Amino acid sequence: MKKLAMLLALALFGTLVVLPGQGGEPKKDEANKVQELMRRKLQNSQKVLEGVALNDYKLIEKHADELIQISKEAEWKVIKTPQYETYSNDFRRTAETLVKNAKDKNLDAAALTYVELTLACVKCHKYVREVRMASRD
């Protein structure tokens, strides 16, 4: 009986070793991916602001387009709720508007759209924090 229990324990342990990402690991790895994605988002947002400050339409366009690409990555989907989806779509639309502003060489519109983009981030981050706090309670 002890042999059978030991064999079952070894088989279970072997399964956990062979299947990485099972147990508690995925959440940590997933969190690291999300952190890296948000870091990239921040860097590109800062480059958009630099483009606005320097009247550099190519810089605005390039980094707003990068923000759109980042928002399409799977790790972007932090919470699967309709409200989160709405925030993501608003962010993407605003970044697309920034690209259009840059192509149109409209600095005033780009500056205003950058503020809208920042507000979209703040609203979404606030929402995610609230949902996470509620789920901990």
Answer yes or no: is 10 within a domain. Answer: no
Whichever domain contains 129, its CATH number is: 1.20.120.10
Query: Is residue 64 a contact partner of residue 116, using CB atoms and an 8 Å limit?
Result: no
**pLDDT value of residue 75:** 74
Sorted by sequence, the CB contacts under 8 Å of residue 61 that are 6+ apart come out as 51, 98, 99, 102, 103
Give 9-24 pLDDT, tens digit per residue.
444 344 333 333 333 3
Q: Which of 11, 100, 115 is nearest to 57 (CA)?
A: 100
pTM given for the model: 0.75
In a domain, 19, yes or no: no
Q: Decide: 12 and 23 in contact? Cβ < 8 Å.
A: no
pLDDT tens figures, 29-82: 777 888 999 999 999 999 999 999 999 999 999 999 999 999 999 778 888 899
How many domains would you assign to the chain? Answer: 1
* pLDDT in the model for residue 81: 92
Note whether residue 18 is domain-resident. Answer: no
Domain that holds residue 112: 26-136
Which pLDDT score is estimated for 137?
66
- For residue 74, the model assigns a pLDDT of 74
Structure tokens at 27: 């959440």
pLDDT in tens, 81-136: 999 999 999 999 999 999 999 999 999 999 999 999 999 999 999 999 999 888 77
Residue 49 in any domain: the answer is yes
